[in-house]
Amino acid sequence: MKLIVKRLEVRNFKVFEKIELTLESDHLVVLDGPNGFGKSSFFDALELLLTGKIRRYIELEELTVDRRSLKPGCPWLFKQARENDWLSIRAEIVVNEQSRFLERAASKAVLDEHSGVTDLRLPLYELVDFGAERDEAISQEETYLSALLGDQYQRDFELFHYVEQEENTRLLKKKEKDRQGQIAHLFDIGDIQDKINNITQASAKIGNLCNPQKKADLKQLKDNWETARQQVLPAGSSVAYERMIAVTDQPWDRDVLQFDVQ
């Protein structure tokens, strides 16, 4: 699945009272500018629209804030927002070459009454076009987004689309197993990694059988086998074999055995 953001409109969000961006390229888009000019806010807006949350705000709140002391108000709301204003993130996205129009929004009145961001959920709307009025919010949001963006859309967003200062060190801070899993998912090499793991395990088991002691044990077994064979079947003698079952034709039942490369 390929997702392209074509247009983004932000109202009363963080440092933006209103801003609209049109992204002409279907490939790499780079935002460049000094600190404090809204680069991170752009990605925060996308994350809020597509996942319903801004992860770094939630993590910061969980680490530093006693929830009993939270005061009403939303840190994402533009500070000069008026009473009847809405915080709104609206975008045109192209999924599998088809344009879809989404908006996530909530009124200032609702946001002013809410405390904290951990359990804050802004409704998601599907629009008929970029400039359309919002209608009823999507009720089964997770089901809708999974159908539109894929079952792992939240994880995909964190790995593919969330670019922010120091976020490139996030994987390095994870446990090795988690880091390998996310990198494998990022580059879609999960199947290859599974095969490598199987080969590594097989190699370890075979390696345990190839040490000098195992070779000596194997030679001793072969010597014992040869001694027993000579006792049971002296040199120059033979054993007659009689086929007992003729219903099937198995390679091992033939007078002359034939082996393929398998």
Give the model's pLDDT for residue 163.
47
Q: What is the tens place of the pLDDT at every residue in 105-161?
A: 999 999 999 888 888 999 999 999 999 999 899 999 989 998 888 887 877 777 665
Assign domain 3-169 one CATH number from 3.40.50.300, 1.10.3720.10, 3.40.50.2300, 3.50.50.60. Answer: 3.40.50.300
Burial class of residue 231 (count of CB atoms within 10 Å of its CB; 0-12, 13-18, 19+): exposed
Residues 110, 67: Cα–Cα separation, whole Å: 19
Give the model's pLDDT for residue 165.
46
| Contact (Cβ atoms closer than 8 angstroms) between residue 31 and residue 39 | yes
Domain boundaries, the chain: 3-169
167 compared with 33, residue with greater pLDDT: 33
Whole-prediction pTM value?
0.62
Residues 139, 124: Cα–Cα separation, whole Å: 8
| Contact (Cβ atoms closer than 8 angstroms) between residue 117 and residue 75 | yes
Over residues 80-94, mean pLDDT: 94
Q: Which helix (H) or strand (E) holds 21?
A: strand 16-22
Query: Mean pLDDT lowest for which of 74-83, 103-112, 175-184, 188-197?
Result: 175-184
C-alpha dihedral over 243, 246, 250, 252, to 10 degrees?
0
Q: What is the tens place of the pLDDT at every residue in 206-255?
A: 887 788 888 888 899 999 998 888 888 777 777 777 777 778 877 777 77
The helix-helix angle for 176-186 and 190-209 (nearest 10°) equals 130
Binned at pLDDT 50, 70 and 90, residue 171 comes out as: low
170 compared with 49, residue with greater pLDDT: 49
